[in-house]
């Protein structure tokens, strides 16, 4: 099951009249971060996304130091509760929180009381009683972080929920694109998201972030893995249009960014793909297909990769690949979000 | 304070800094973001004029070292730290526009020691308005300005605000709740 993203209202939080800071000139006012939780990027305005990007710039400066640690979140407790496997998301949240001097607790659902049948709500209440200020949650059920946010007294960060949303991935993807594209902007750039769009929370969150930033977004894959996206494309993401196609040639031609998505074998309930080999033959991102894109196009993948299926090994590690940058930027983006949420005024 | 008064105070501080060090050997100036940075550059410029020595100038952002993250009503925008020299063994003069509670300076010293071990840290401020909450004092002060806590001291510098000047404004007390 999945929350129909297109029908959900953005929980707009009005920004109160800001109190002018004592030491700031007009026009360079600090922003109040108005969100207690980060559940998806559809709740963020383009200005707020900009604030995340600028804060991530500062975090990269911290990461470049010999000892990449600042005391910004000293005394805060971050609990990382993952009901699904993860390497880069979980570790980058942990590393980021530690770089900000927060105390970090890691819970893998498989070795917690969840295995004895404890409900999500009870688990979240227990974590709150144990003193957590920020809860980072990953869950196989779409919408689970929203349920957690309804009972948790601190801040909830969605680390990926089912097919629905993966906001920190979308923000680090946008950050990586801006870092690598000429003039640091995705506005007007053709960004292709290629592969298992149907099961991809990364694709859904990226559509929100990229269309908000003015990119020309294309979703491409076999028709069975694009189900429902035609209707969403017609409705638009917050009124912003994007293109859905099964033609890999149309999608890749003159693309500025090509993001390959993992074929999510664990979420395939049968009948969607004849075989992985056929998928690789018809939709895999090979050198030959990549040559349809602009010569300076960048190649992305949210990881983990099935090399030889959705992306050829030579492309994944080729000169156009920024996959390693995505991972490195993931720490900076997650530090920025933890920092902003810790100081949020709601 | 008028633009002329700011200029004279800056020049006097520049002489005091050199006098206290008995020369310019090992000196470095570090401005605290944001208005401490142009002030540090001005002091370095004055020292260049009368000593003929170009001192290294850095910029320090203390945002991540504040102890009041959950108390401030707004998130400070991070402006960046730039310390293009080795701090170890140097005499560092921290420069800021207004000295008030001392908490900014406490944070600045925490930030500095993350970058190295200076021989000594000194403090130069354009305005000392009193009301210290920590045992911190300035070595060099442009002007002591008695204020009440309800007042706001606004320093304007041409590099940031298009003009020089220091004003005191009265504000209504602002209620700031705990953010969370």
In this complex, how many residue pairs, one in chain A and one in chain B, have their CB atoms less than 8 Å apart? 85
Among candidates B63, B75, B152 on the partner chain, residue whose Cβ is nearest the Cβ of A22: B152
Per-residue pLDDT at A150 exceeds 80: yes
Instruction: Kindly determine whether residue A345 and residue B73, on different chains, have CB atoms separated by under 8 Å.
Output: yes
In tens, the pLDDT along A237-249 reads: 888 899 999 999 9
The mean per-residue pLDDT over the stretch B104-115 comes to: 93
- pLDDT tens, residue by residue, B52-80: 999 999 999 998 888 766 544 445 567 77
Residue B102 domain-assigned (yes or no): yes
Greater model confidence, A2 or A71: A71
With CB atoms and an 8 Å threshold, state whether B72 touches A343.
Answer: yes
The answer to whether residue B180 is domain-embedded is no
Distance between CA atoms of A309 and A279, rounded to whole angstroms?
7
B111 chain-A contacts, CB cut-off 8 A = 70
Residue B179: inside a domain: no
Q: Which CATH architecture has domain A29-165+329-342?
A: 3-Layer(aba) Sandwich (3.40)
Domain limits, chain A: 29-165+329-342, 167-323
Burial class (CB in 10 A: 0-12, 13-18, 19+), B99: buried
Whether residue A270 is predicted with pLDDT greater than 80 in this model: the reply is no
Q: Are A137 and A157 in contact (CB under 8 A)?
A: yes
How many other CB atoms are there within 10 angstroms of residue A61's CB atom? 17
Q: Among A59-63, A85-89, A253-257, B150-154, name the most confident range.
A: A253-257
Contact at CB, B75 and A340, closer than 8 angstroms: yes
Query: What distance in Å separates residue B69's CA from the closest CA in chain A?
Result: 6
Q: Which domain holds residue B159?
A: 3-170
Q: Any idea what the Cα angle at residue B70 is, between residues B60 and B170, rounded to 5°?
A: 75
- Whether A10 has a pLDDT exceeding 60, the answer reads no
DSSP string of A56-105, one letter each residue: HHHHHHHHTSSS----TTTT-EEEEEESS--SHHHHHHHHHHHHTT-EEE
Locate the chain B residue with the closest alpha carbon to A56. Answer: B78
Query: Chain A within 8 Å of B63 (Cβ-Cβ)?
Result: yes
In a domain, B46, yes or no: yes
Q: Which two structure tokens, joined as six digits, stand for B46?
A: 């004055």
pLDDT in tens, A97-112: 999 999 999 998 888 8
Query: 3-state SS of chain B: helix, strand, coil percent to 5?
Result: 30, 25, 45
Q: How close, in Å, is residue A335 to chain B by CA atoms? A: 11
Interface of A with B (CB under 8 A): 18-19, 21-25, 28-33, 36, 51, 54-55, 57-58, 61-62, 65, 67, 69-73, 100, 154, 339-340, 342-346
Q: Using CA atoms, how far apart are residues A14 and A76, in angstroms rounded to an integer?
A: 26
What confidence category does residue A185 fall into, taking pLDDT thresholds of 50, 70 and 90? very high
Pairing relation of β-strands B151-156 and B165-170?
Answer: antiparallel
Which tens digit of pLDDT belongs to each residue from A128-146? 999 999 999 999 999 999 9
Residue B27 maps to which CATH number?
3.40.50.2020
Q: Tokens in use for B2?
A: 């008028």
- Which pLDDT score is estimated for B177? 46
pLDDT band (50, 70, 90) for residue B172: low
Least confident of A1-10, B90-99, B111-120: A1-10
pLDDT of residue B69: 61
pLDDT band at A24 (very low <50, low <70, confident <90, very high): very low
Using CB atoms, pick whichever of A24, A70, A344 lies closest to residue B179. Answer: A344
Comparing A59-63, A229-233, B80-84, the range with the smallest average pLDDT is: B80-84
User: Does residue B123 lie in a domain region?
Assistant: yes
A48 pLDDT band, cuts 50/70/90, is very high
Residue B163 lies in a domain: yes
Q: Which CATH architecture has domain A167-323?
A: 3-Layer(aba) Sandwich (3.40)
User: Number of structural domains, chain B?
Assistant: 1
Residues of A in contact with B64 (CB under 8 A): 58, 62, 70-72, 100, 339
């Amino acid at each position: 099951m999945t929350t129909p993203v297109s029908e959900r209202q953005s929980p707009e939080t009005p920004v109160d009249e800001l109190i002018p800071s004592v030491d700031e000139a007009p026009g360079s006012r600090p922003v109040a971060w108005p969100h207690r939780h980060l559940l998806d990027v559809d709740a963020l305005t383009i200005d707020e996304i900009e604030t995340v990007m600028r804060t991530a710039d500062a975090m990269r400066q911290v990461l470049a130091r010999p000892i990449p640690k600042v005391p910004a979140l000293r005394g805060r407790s971050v609990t990382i509760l993952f009901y699904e496997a993860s390497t880069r998301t979980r570790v980058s949240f942990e590393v980021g929180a530690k770089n900000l001097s927060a105390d970090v607790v890691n819970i893998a659902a498989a070795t917690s009381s969840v295995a004895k049948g404890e409900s999500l709500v009870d688990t979240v209440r227990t974590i709150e009683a144990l003193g957590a200020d920020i809860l980072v949650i990953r869950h196989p059920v779409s919408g689970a972080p929203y349920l957690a946010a309804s009972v948790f007294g601190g801040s909830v960060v969605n680390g990926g929920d089912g097919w629905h949303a993966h906001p920190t991935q979308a923000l680090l993807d946008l950050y990586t694109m801006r870092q690598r594209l000429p003039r640091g902007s995705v506005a007007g750039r053709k960004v292709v998201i290629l592969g298992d769009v149907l099961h991809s929370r990364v694709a859904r969150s990226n559509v929100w972030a990229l269309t908000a930033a003015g990119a020309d977004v294309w979703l491409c894959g076999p028709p069975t893995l694009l189900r429902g996206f035609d209707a969403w494309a017609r409705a638009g993401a917050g009124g912003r249009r994007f293109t859905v196609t099964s033609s890999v040639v149309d999608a890749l031609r003159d693309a500025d960014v090509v993001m390959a998505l993992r074929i999510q074998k664990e979420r395939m309930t049968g009948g969607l793909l004849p075989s992985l080999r056929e998928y690789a033959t018809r939709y895999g991102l090979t050198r030959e297909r990549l040559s349809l894109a602009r010569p300076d196009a960048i190649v992305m993948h949210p990881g983990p990769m099935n090399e030889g299926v959705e992306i050829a090994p030579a492309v994944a590690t080729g000169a156009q690949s920024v996959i390693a940058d995505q991972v490195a930027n993931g720490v900076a983006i997650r530090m920025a979000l933890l920092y902003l949420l810790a100081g949020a005024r709601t | 304070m008028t633009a002329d008064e700011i200029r004279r105070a800056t020049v006097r501080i520049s002489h005091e800094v050199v006098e206290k060090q008995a020369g310019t050997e090992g000196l470095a100036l570090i401005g605290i973001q944001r208005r401490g940075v142009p002030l540090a550059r001005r002091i370095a410029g004055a020292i260049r004029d009368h000593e003929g020595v170009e001192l290294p100038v850095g910029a320090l952002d203390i945002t991540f070292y504040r102890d009041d993250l959950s108390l401030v009503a707004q998130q400070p925008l991070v402006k960046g730290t730039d310390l293009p020299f080795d701090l170890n063994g140097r005499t560092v003069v921290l420069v800021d526009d207004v000295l008030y509670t001392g908490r900014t300076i406490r944070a600045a010293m925490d930030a500095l020691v993350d970058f190295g071990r200076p021989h000594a840290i000194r403090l130069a401020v354009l305005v000392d308005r009193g009301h210290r909450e920590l045992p911190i004092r300035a070595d060099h002060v442009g002007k002591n300005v008695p204020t009440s806590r309800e007042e706001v001291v606004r320093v304007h510098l041409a590099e940031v605000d298009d003009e020089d000047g220091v004003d005191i404004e009265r504000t209504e007390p602002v209620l700031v709740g705990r953010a969370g």
